[in-house]
Amino acid sequence: MINKEKWGEIIREFHERGIPDLIEREINIPKEVPLKRAVSIIGPRRSGKTYSMFQLIKNILKGTSIHQTIYINFERIDLEGVRSEDLINIVEVYYEIYPQNKNKKLWLFLDEIQNVNDWEKYVRTVLDAKDIQVFISGSSSKLLSKEIATSMRGRTLTYKILPFSFEDYLNVKRENIGKYPTSIEKAKILNKLKSYLEGGGYPEAIIYSKERDKILMDITETTIFRDVIERYKIRNIKLLKLLIKSLINSAAREFSIHKFYNFIRTTGIKASKTSLYNYVDALQDVFFIFPLRKFSYSYKEGEQSLPKIYVIDNGILTINGINENGRLIENFIFIELLRRGKEINYYKSADNKEVDFLIMDKKRVKQLIQVSFSLDDIKTKEREVKGLLSASKDLHCNNLMIITWNYEGEEKIKGKKIKFIPLWKWLLIKEA
């Protein structure tokens, strides 16, 4: 049980310590939302959720005192085993410390809240109190899909925090690029983009770049053991590790659980397909992988299709030996589309012509995107173009784009206009 003295200590220490130095990033999370709704901030471990909370608090402090905010991180060792009933004392203790604030608005930040069983009961209770704005964060998509949908009954607004975008990366590296960059600036952009493409966007790995590989290995191990093995009580660790290795090796490619199951049987490892599906669900739940389904107007057909696998960060791919430019750029673009909140599928025609990304908007196919690091090889260009033209005809979509490393242009092929855009421009000039 967490007593009132501990809560008082945590609240006062936060107020006395203040907000740490921040690397400002574009988060687009409002500090003011309709009362009776919590703001949930979700995303993978160590992607910057805590510092996003601090950035929000910093914005709040432009119009009020830090004493009208409370920040609690539930990964503190001294809060291990905290129960939802222990949380009741937080606000009570706060008003005992600051009785003059009883009629003022309070912003309550609860970081890594998934570590508290039945946390949603407490949050619902606080939301019913007068003038308290609640922000919660967690490293599990359960905060979005399962727990909130069933327990919070629509009383949240959810925002996703992913590792640093390329714009965030340039900000860290103090590179300011104008709207019309010079040739020298373009060369700098491509140099930075190459480093980012290979090293990924985890904040720590960027800031402490000399220790990048160690940091990425630690993030991977912590995600696997703490977020997956402990949370889901997985016993067959050897099987889980083999599955993770196979998923990483399948980045930007289709992955078949059935084929993996048959492979496992040849090794003598005991496993069930149900366990494998559960493991994949768990890895998706903690934002480690993202299975992308094939587009179909039939929901059943889409769900039964083989998914393509994407991994949360390119740095995790490179430390596992994935260094093919084409796969790195495709995985990276998927994560960027996810960051932009796009509804994504891939497309494969009846004659197996493929389009990497199909963007939906209000149940309509809005855009078709191919990804190719280089189009120097004529066969590669023909393959990418044929995939787009076939999908354009099938889906009645004429917004066709091929993202490349550094080729730009526009071509009309068989009556269809195809836009070729360099990756850096697609990233930095979003309207393109």
The alpha helices in 364-432, defined as continuous H runs, are 378-395, 423-428
CB 368 within 8 A of CB 345: no
pLDDT score, position 168: 92
> Is the confidence at residue 301, as pLDDT, over 60?
yes
Q: What is the mean pLDDT of residues 287-294?
A: 96
How does DSSP assign 89-151, residue by residue?
A: HHHHHHHHH-GGGTTS-EEEEEETGGGSBTHHHHHHHHHTSTTEEEEEEESSGGGTTTHIIII
For tokens 């053991």, name the residue: 225
Model pLDDT for residues 350-386, shown as the tens digit of each residue: 889 999 999 999 889 999 999 999 999 999 999 999 9
d(CA 212, CA 197): 13
Tokens of 223: 């995600």
Quote the mean pLDDT of the chain: 91
pLDDT digits (tens, 9 = 90+) for 40-51: 898 998 999 999
Mean pLDDT of 289-303: 90
Answer whether 389's CB lies under 8 Å from 373's CB.
no
Rg over alpha carbons for the chain, rounded to the nearest Å, is 24
**According to the model, what pLDDT value does residue 303 have?**
83
**Residues near 398 by beta carbon (within 8 Å), at least 6 away in sequence:** 392, 416, 417
The proportion of the chain whose per-residue pLDDT surpasses 70, expressed as a percent, equals: 96
Average pLDDT over residues 221-237: 88
CB 70 within 8 A of CB 189: no
Question: What is the reported pLDDT for 312?
Answer: 97
Residue 146 is predicted with a pLDDT of 53
Through-space distance between the first and last CA atoms of the chain, rounded to whole angstroms: 55
Lowest mean pLDDT among 112-121, 147-156, 384-393: 147-156
Q: For the chain, give the percent of residues with pLDDT over 90.
A: 70
Phi and psi (nearest 5°) for 305?
Answer: -75, 160
